[in-house]
Amino acid sequence: MASSGYLNKTTSEACIEFLVKQCALASTRKRLSEASSAVPEKPKATEMPVSIPAKKELGGQLRSLELRRVCETGLLLLAGTVPAAEVILWPFLLKMLMPVEYTAALDTVCKCITEVLKHKRSRGEKVSIDYSMTSNIPEPEILDDLGPIFPTAIVLLWEEEIPKLKAYISNIDVASWQQIVWEDMIIHLLSDALGVVHDPEWIMSFGNALATHYNLYDDNQQISLLHRCMGTVLQKTDNEVYVQRMITLMYQRSDVSNKINRGGLATAMGLVASAHLDTVLAKLRRILDNHKRNGFLRFVLHFVKPQKIRAVDNVFATLALMYGYTASYAPSSGIEARIEILVGSDMLKGFLKVKAQASKQAVLSAINLLGQAVIKAAKNGTVFPLKKRDIMLNYIISLMEKDEKNSLDIELQHTQEMALDACATLVSVNPKLTSKMRDSVLQAAFGFFTLPMSLAVSDTLFTNLTRFLCTILLTSGDDGKSRAMQLQFLLKRLDEFASSSMEYERERAVRTVLALLQYYRALCFPGSCYVGCTGSYMHLRSSSDTDQSGGAAGPALLPPREALRLGERIVAFLPRCTDVSPVIRILAGQIITILCNMVMLIPDPAGAKSTDDSIELSLAITALQDLTDSTKGKTDGSEVNVLQRVVDAVLNLLNYTEVVAALKGCKIAVCDKVLQSAQGAMSALTQIIYSRGSQLREGDICKIARNLFEAAAIDCDRHQGILAVVCSLAEHSVAKVVFSEIITAGEIELVDDLDKRKLCRFEKIILAISHHEKLSLIFLEYVVDILDHAPVFKEDDAEKGNISDHLTFPMSLCQRSQAATLALQEILRGANDTVKQAVNQCYPRVLCCLLLRIGSIQESISIDMQPLRDMITTIHVFSETVENDDMGKVLFTDGEQRLSGERWTEAVEEVASNSAREKPEEVTNMCTLLWPALERQHDCQRAAAAAALSGLVQHCENTSILLGSLVEALTAHTSDESSTVRLLCVRSLVQMIKRGVTAFVPEALNVIVALLEDKEDEVANAAVCGLSPVIQVASAEVVYPMLLNLCLRLSILQTRHLESTRAAAFEALGSVSKFATGVQLGTFMEQIHKILPRLVFHVNDEAPSVSLACKNALRSISPLLHAQDIRALVNLRTFEFGRSMEYDDFVKEFVKHLVLQFRDKVDIYVSCAIQAFESPWPVIQANSAYFVGCLLSRVRDAVSVAHYVPQVSNLLMKMTTSSPSALVRAKSTLALSQIMNEMEVLNT
């Protein structure tokens, strides 16, 4: 209508006034008649201003509110959007300011006036009023006329203060208007005005007049201001009765269900308490006692009418607020005892029953105000601890907890914001926060980082959280080290969220860390902050400023450099430098820059840094700053390059300890939940190791390697990248230390299977290292070295105690060698070109190690067969790797049985022989590695070395240097304690001679002669078996000096039980006979005559080899006898091997010629035969009996026969009657018959 010109100035004023009148409607309209007096009636017992309107009344109120909103909107549209309405509204709206019944519409009217004047000024029009043309328009001069009715002091004050109010209104627009600031200015003006009035009656009359305005306002904002005005008035009077009446009125006139209303009431009570503390506390106590008496009513309402609980909660919230403001405004000198009573008597605990968020917020405000009251008292010189502070903190935790039935709404967030603010306040007061209470509060506070992004979480919540953490940091200690420790504690707790898989959690945590570090730097290094710190908490004063003693600020407390733990912090945020979020990347760069900057600001305790160092470090800091600034807003995928530059700059700042700490903290970094960040961390760690790895000490390398192994086990999806870092560590530090930790990891897996869940699979680590081009060879050599030198446990060690008892048995040593065996298996099993090249390069060492290890394992076979099985598998894999099928076949079918049996050295010898046949060029190297092993402590190891050498010497090149050393080593160990070693050494020497190495015949022959008398039959057998081949190539100069010695020793061996020994002894006798010349011939022949009957006995030996050897020996000896008949006899074709021979006929014929040629030797022959009667072999006994019978029957000398017959006859009779062998009995009988016949012939 107005925009179309239907309203004009004269006819539309009634319409405008109608709209203003409707804007004065309220939902809880008060009737003027209800407030005929300012003196309140006596309150009800409960003093609960709770009213529940009837349904009809409620409906009428809703319609009134709707009408009021429509009219308000209409007026504002007229003033702001219809230019034609300005003529109607101005200056008519000024009339609407004066009627009392339009008081509730004052805000709407003022807004309309403001809109009209704004449009006039925008057009450059002068704002003026022609009072002669208008009527009933209030004139400013009226205020001047009212001046004399106020005290002069007030008028003078107004002249000074009102221009300030006017200036504030004039210089602010509607968008920037802050109602609370304006109200504070009004309260300040009122307080100052009453302060210059010294007339108590006037002040009370002013208060009475002000009390009548409660009937004029039903807007809670206005009533809140009225409460504060009343509090200011009561603050200025000393009449306690009057104060009690007024505060009762204020409580009755307040709507405690409204947050603004009760806030104004509580503030007013605080203002009153500043002058009448006991009066206010008494009033609050009465209200609280009344509600306690009605506790049963609350219990019943909970079940009958739950909606009424909220009304009761509002009262509790109001009471809590009033207590808080009372403490806040009360004089510091009297507040301590009252706070202790309030907290100690569990008054606050009763307030915790409230359910509504607004009520909870009121209780939190009260707690916050109590804490601020303690701080205020300390500043004013009244220092006392808040003894029940921890109880109050627990109250806060319970109040800010989220109800499981309700989602996180705005009100709950506001409650949590206020809770954090209250926590920060309470933490600031004495006594200092205990670790237990700190952890409890942090546990509740840190839960806010996990709030889902789907909820509209306010920035204020995290601002207050950061302020709370800063406060903890501020009050953590009185020295720089304590603060630094508290900082590290907080940062470690935040690491969990900074590395979360949720981007919003990471961003929240990283922002908090940045703010915390900025605050810490400003706290410890005043004036050093060069980044844009935001928020009032960033530059809070030091602890001495906020200390309750109220003392002046002291100097900054610098932390020691090590307390900042720069290395740990750097590695914790390196992953964030490559985060998928560009915002987080920028924040992480700023964090690292701040950390480095703080380290730079700490003076060197050993003196100032050198100029060059200082310049270098400053350039590093500058580079970090420039890098951080240049990456803001960039998402071009160059995160890795940026990270490399960050690491380069940081490495210039880190000392050794910090580098080690950074590397030790690698586990969390490389296991970061964001793949891109984890990869960035791996890249950064590799870069650090490359630059500083050579400086690392062995102990530190061990710990770093363990952490990397654990990380690889935790995150198997990224183990390849992590193991690449392990390879880098081994390559650029001390490789053997890393290798040692790898083997240790294998030990742990072997000891306890559960640890496989904690450590990376042993095989994966082995493969990563062995496939590394630069590490493969040295790792292989390291594993071989462990196997070569790892101790073994013996059976007598195992008998001392339980094998599983580590205190009595060195199981760790056994497990280490077994782990090395498995490591070697994995190296060979996963062989690629790199591994094969490494294996071929150290082929001799690997094979020798495996062969020697077989010997080491022999000592533990009776306890555990698994090491043997593992070694067999390793040899199979090795043979496959070097492509030697023959070697693998040696142990393929019955390897376990062969190596666990008594003749295990034969398998070792065979493996070595196959290897030498396949790779003859490596024989020299293998021999060089093996002969030192003959000096080892354990018998089986020496035996293994000797067996391997025995297999290799068959393929040795005829090199004087090699063979000389080899012969020397073998010769030295022919006197070894182990019979197996002696046997193998002499066998090796003989094999060398057989291959035509005649240069060492003297050494070999000396050894053989010495071992012919060995107490072990097998050793003696090996010596005598090797004697003939050596004698055959030996020169007379070598054999001649030992001819008689040989003959004597061979004579002893000819009666040994072992068939091969007897055969070799007889064979050797024939071989040495060719050297019987010169002066020793006679002596030698004497020995031959003693042996000659034995040769005849054993010609008919049951063992074909012995029989043949005896035949050969007789042929070789026969020329020395110079008896043509005997020589012809032993050279008959019937005497050859394989042909049948009548032994009895041979003996008769041989004895016949023997007696004819050597009658003087008969006694020797008879003695030899009598000795043979005791032979263990029946056939030899029979042969000797027949021989002696034939011999005595051919003597033809009665004297000689009479000399031997008694003894021989008795022995033969005994053999005839007692021998178990029929052959012996028969031959003995035949021999007796021959002797008896000869005796008869002689007697006749």
Instruction: Give the residue among 647, 642, 516 at the shortest CA–CA distance from 582.
Output: 642
What are the structure tokens assigned to 273, written together?
């308490």
Q: Residue 1222 domain-assigned?
A: no
Among 284-298, 328-342, 759-773, 1111-1125, which is the least confidently predicted range?
A: 284-298
Does residue 846 register a pLDDT over 90? Answer: yes
How confident is the model over 1162-1172, as a mean pLDDT?
89
Q: What is the pLDDT of residue 838?
A: 92
> Packing angle between helix 939-952 and helix 923-930, nearest 10 degrees?
160
Does residue 898 register a pLDDT over 60? Answer: yes
Instruction: Give the residue among 386, 377, 516 at the shortest CA–CA distance from 446.
Output: 516
Listed in sequence order, the residues at least 6 apart from 1036 whose beta carbon sits closer than 8 Å to its beta carbon are: 1075, 1077
> Do 401 and 300 reside in the same domain of the chain?
yes
Highest mean pLDDT among 157-171, 254-268, 445-459: 254-268
Residue type at position 607: G
Q: What is the pLDDT of residue 141?
A: 52
What is the CB neighbour count within 10 angstroms for residue 540?
A: 19
> Do 347 and 363 reside in the same domain of the chain?
yes
Q: Residue 1114 domain-assigned?
A: no
What are the structure tokens assigned to 752, written together?
């306890």
- How many domains is the chain partitioned into structurally? 5
Domain containing residue 673: 564-695
> Packing angle between helix 259-273 and helix 357-379, nearest 10 degrees?
20
> Do 247 and 392 reside in the same domain of the chain?
yes
HSE (side-chain half, CA atoms, 13 Å) at 381: 2
Does residue 98 register a pLDDT over 50? Answer: yes
Does residue 59 register a pLDDT over 60? Answer: no
Give the helix/strand (H/E) hosting 286.
helix 277-293
- Which pairs with CB-CB distance under 8 Å and at least 24 residues apart come from 12-15? 12/88, 13/88, 13/92
Greatest CA separation for the chain: 203
CB contact at 8 A, 510 and 576: yes
> Do 783 and 822 reside in the same domain of the chain?
yes
Give the helix/strand (H/E) hosting 697.
none
Q: Residue 1151 domain-assigned?
A: no
Q: What is the pLDDT of residue 344?
A: 55
Give the helix/strand (H/E) hosting 758.
none
Q: What is the pLDDT of residue 813?
A: 47
- Phi, psi (rounded to 5 degrees) for 171: -100, 15
- Phi, psi (rounded to 5 degrees) for 673: -70, -20
Query: For residue 84, with 0-12 CB atoms within 10 Å meaning exposed, 13-18 middle and 19 or more buried, which class applies?
Result: middle
Q: Residue 740 domain-assigned?
A: yes
In this prediction, residue 531 has a pLDDT band, given cuts at 50, 70 and 90, of: very low
Mean pLDDT across the chain = 80
What are the structure tokens assigned to 791, written together?
């101790």
Q: What is the pLDDT of residue 309?
A: 63
Does residue 626 register a pLDDT over 70? Answer: no
CA distances from residue 892 to 202, 856, 878, 885, 915 in whole angstroms, order as listed: 119, 20, 13, 10, 15
Domain boundary among 804, 819, 837: 837
Rounded Cα–Cα distance for residues 64 and 26 (Å): 7
What are the structure tokens assigned to 337, written together?
């005892």
Distance of CA 1055 to the CA centre of its chain: 73
Give the helix/strand (H/E) hosting 496.
helix 480-498
> Do 522 and 575 reside in the same domain of the chain?
no
CA distances from residue 365 to 1, 312, 360, 372, 444 in whole angstroms, order as listed: 50, 18, 9, 10, 19
Q: Residue 1210 domain-assigned?
A: no
What is the CA angle 367-398-411, rounded to 5?
A: 80
**DSSP code per residue over 224-252:** HHHHHHHHHHHHT---HHHHHHHHHHHHH
Rounded Cα–Cα distance for residues 1092 and 1088 (Å): 6
CA distances from residue 293 to 262, 298, 316 in whole angstroms, order as listed: 23, 10, 14
Does residue 1120 register a pLDDT over 70? Answer: yes
Instruction: Give the residue among 995, 953, 1003 at the shortest CA–CA distance from 973.
Output: 1003
The total number of residues shown for the chain amounts to 1244
> Do 528 and 602 reside in the same domain of the chain?
no
Q: What is the pLDDT of residue 527?
A: 63
CB contact at 8 A, 863 and 793: yes
CB contact at 8 A, 115 and 158: no
**pLDDT single digits (tens) 204-252:** 988 888 888 888 777 788 888 888 899 999 988 889 899 999 988 888 8
> Do 328 and 449 reside in the same domain of the chain?
no
Q: What is the pLDDT of residue 58?
A: 45
- Describe the chain by its helix, strand, coil percentages, rounded to 5: 75, 0, 25
> Do 511 and 569 reside in the same domain of the chain?
no
Q: Residue 824 domain-assigned?
A: yes
Listed in sequence order, the residues at least 6 apart from 5 whose beta carbon sits closer than 8 Å to its beta carbon are: 84
Domain boundary among 127, 154, 180: 127
Domain boundary among 127, 159, 181: 127
Listed in sequence order, the residues at least 6 apart from 831 whose beta carbon sits closer than 8 Å to its beta carbon are: 839, 881
In this prediction, residue 535 has a pLDDT band, given cuts at 50, 70 and 90, of: very low
User: Is the whole model's pTM more than 0.75, yes or no?
Assistant: no
How confident is the model over 739-750, as a mean pLDDT?
85
Instruction: Tell how many helices (H) and how many strands (E) occur in the chain.
Output: 61, 0
CB contact at 8 A, 973 and 1009: no
Mind spelling out the 3-state secondary structure of 356-393? CHHHHHHHHHHHHHHHHHHHHHHHCCCCCCCCCHHHHH
Q: Which residues of 821-836 are buried (b: 16+ CB within 10 A; e: fewer)?
A: bbbbbbbbbbbeebbe
Phi-psi region of 538 (alpha: psi -120 to 50; beta: other; left: phi over 0): alpha
CB contact at 8 A, 513 and 494: yes
What is the CA angle 838-842-845, rounded to 5?
A: 145
> Do 258 and 403 reside in the same domain of the chain?
yes
Instruction: Give the residue among 849, 862, 851, 855 at the shortest CA–CA distance from 820.
Output: 849
- DSSP code of residue 1049: H
Rounded Cα–Cα distance for residues 607 and 481 (Å): 20
How confident is the model over 535-559, as a mean pLDDT?
43
- Of 136 and 15, the one with more pLDDT: 15
Q: Residue 785 domain-assigned?
A: yes
> Do 715 and 590 reside in the same domain of the chain?
no
Q: Residue 88 domain-assigned?
A: yes
> Do 264 and 248 reside in the same domain of the chain?
yes
**pLDDT single digits (tens) 1131-1164:** 876 666 555 568 888 888 888 888 888 888 888 8
Q: What is the pLDDT of residue 548?
A: 44
Highest mean pLDDT among 204-213, 615-624, 634-643, 684-693: 684-693
Q: What is the pLDDT of residue 867?
A: 85
SS3 549: coil
> Do 759 and 675 reside in the same domain of the chain?
no
CB contact at 8 A, 808 and 802: yes
Rounded Cα–Cα distance for residues 197 and 199 (Å): 6
Does residue 540 register a pLDDT over 60? Answer: no
